[in-house]
């Protein structure tokens, strides 16, 4: 899946740069449809080039059709290849991905390249924020793999089993289902640890009467899935049921408010108001949702600080939570696609409280 035509068109509308240098691996994959751990891409308004070393040159040559593929070497390193093109095409201002570049990397690049480096991350952010049909197909497939894995793992959740064992089972079953990898390290926590939104799975054993929170996802075609389910084991107290009900109501309110043109802040507020009204506002500390795509966390965000309208076909998580320190926490997370008048929920797994 290549997005070079869209990238060239966006660069033509961008007054700040004559060309764009793409070094980030996810941005390279978005532009060229080719994944590798080494390489860089130079894009002008008319043409594109991909440079890589001998490890990837054959695969790149076979996979990349819309850009020239050239191999770097000790005699012709990246900077020489790029400088040759800078001179040939009279590139004065070279756009770079400032958000994913350290100061040291910027200084090094500035000293090696014969063009002014200018911020141009906004080009990639804008393009990647709205998903194409081919991207959505991959996102939906990744989600189905994750949900199938959870369906197989639920019967294994019982007293005496550790968090780490459940995390391993989720990973194993997603890989068996066709996943390329985890989209992030699975979060599987139980008991009082569920009050920590990003708790780390350990050797804590599940006990009857506990909540178990599982936040996990996988990669398919380069694209990530993300979901969270909180289940009870054996029984649930009245307070556990109340908090779960509030979180579910908040999530549904946020999804109902979510659509293109609405600000990220207003989507977040729809869910946050439900939790605050129920008296648990101080226990919801993170945002309603984040963008999901080639990265597990990308723009746009449904957060209190995002006052920008959400773009059409943005894909975001919907994950409010309540976390009561020393007691328990609840989070329910789906992934939704923003349409013109509503959001499509691509997560089909049951989210009414499950007591195993």
CB 277 within 8 A of CB 249: no
pLDDT of residue 1: 81
Mean pLDDT within 280-300: 98
pLDDT per position as a tens digit, 47-97: 999 999 999 999 999 999 999 999 999 999 999 999 999 999 999 999 999
In sign, the C-alpha dihedral spanning 85, 50, 14, 98 is: negative
Domains of the chain, with CATH numbers? 4-129 (3.40.350.10), 133-345 (3.90.230.10)
Is the predicted pLDDT of residue 242 greater than 90, yes or no?
yes
pTM: 0.95
Match 């980030």 to its residue by tokens.
24
In percent, how much of the chain has pLDDT > 70? 100
Which tokens belong to 134?
A: 């081919």
Q: Is residue 292 scored above 90 in pLDDT?
A: yes
Buried b (16+ CB within 10 A) or exposed e, 274-308: bbeebebeebbeebbbbbbbbbbebbbbbbeebee
Under a CB-based contact definition with an 8 Å cutoff, are residues 170 and 149 in contact?
yes
The residues with which 355 forms a beta bridge, in sequence order, are: 232
Q: What is the DSSP letter of 263?
A: B
- Report pLDDT digits (tens) over 91-144: 999 999 999 999 999 999 999 999 999 999 999 999 999 999 999 999 999 999
The reported pLDDT for the residue numbered 168 is 98
Report the C-alpha gap between 179 and 167 in whole angstroms: 15
Please give the pLDDT value at position 268: 98
The pLDDT, as a whole number, for residue 316 is: 98
For residue 318, CA distances in Å to 15, 129, 178, 268, 288 come to 35, 16, 25, 9, 6
CA 16, CA 308: separation in Å to the nearest integer? 22
Cβ 211 vs Cβ 190: under 8 Å: yes
What is the tens place of the pLDDT at every residue in 16-51?
Answer: 899 999 999 999 999 999 999 999 999 999 999 999
Q: What is the spatial distance between Cα 191 and Cα 211, in angstroms, rounded to a whole number?
A: 6
Which alpha helices (H) appear in the chain, and where do they start and end?
4-13, 25-32, 57-63, 78-88, 103-112, 121-129, 133-153, 163-176, 238-257, 264-277
């Amino acid at each position: 899946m290549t997005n070079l035509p869209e990238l060239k068109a966006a660069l033509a509308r961008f007054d700040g740069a004559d060309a764009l240098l793409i070094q980030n691996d996810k941005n390279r994959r978005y532009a060229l449809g080719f994944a590798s751990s080494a390489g860089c891409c130079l894009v002008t308004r008319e043409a594109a080039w991909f440079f890589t070393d001998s490890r990837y040159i054959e695969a790149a040559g076979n996979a990349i059709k819309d850009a020239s593929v050239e191999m770097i070497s000790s005699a012709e390193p990246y900077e020489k290849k790029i400088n040759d093109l800078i001179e040939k095409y009279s590139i004065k201002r070279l756009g770079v991905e400032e958000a994913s570049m350290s100061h040291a990397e910027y200084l090094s690049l500035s000293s090696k390249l014969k063009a002014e480096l200018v911020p141009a991350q906004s080009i990639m952010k804008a393009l990647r924020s709205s998903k194409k049909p081919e991207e959505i197909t991959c996102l939906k497939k990744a989600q189905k793999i994750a949900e199938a894995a959870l369906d197989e793992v639920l019967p294994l959740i019982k007293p005496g089993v550790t968090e780490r064992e459940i995390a391993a089972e989720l990973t194993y079953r997603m890989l068996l289902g066709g996943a390329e990898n985890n989209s992030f390290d699975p979060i599987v926590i139980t008991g009082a640890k569920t009050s920590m939104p990003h708790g780390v799975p350990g050797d804590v054993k599940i006990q009857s009467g506990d909540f178990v929170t599982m936040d996990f996802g996988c990669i398919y075609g380069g694209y990530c899935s993300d979901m969270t389910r909180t289940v009870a084991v054996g029984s649930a107290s009245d307070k556990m049921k109340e908090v779960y009900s509030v979180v579910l109501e908040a999530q549904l309110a946020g999804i109902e408010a979510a659509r293109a043109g609405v600000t990220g802040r207003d989507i977040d507020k729809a869910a946050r108001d439900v939790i605050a009204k129920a008296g648990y506002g101080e226990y919801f500390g993170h945002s309603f949702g984040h963008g999901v795509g080639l990265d597990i966390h990308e723009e746009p965000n449904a957060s209190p600080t995002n006052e920008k309208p959400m773009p059409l076909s943005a894909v975001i998580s919907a994950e409010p939570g309540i976390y009561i320190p020393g007691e328990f926490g609840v989070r329910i997370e789906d992934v939704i696609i923003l349409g013109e008048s509503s959001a499509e929920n691509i997560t089909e797994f049951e989210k009414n409280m499950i007591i195993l």
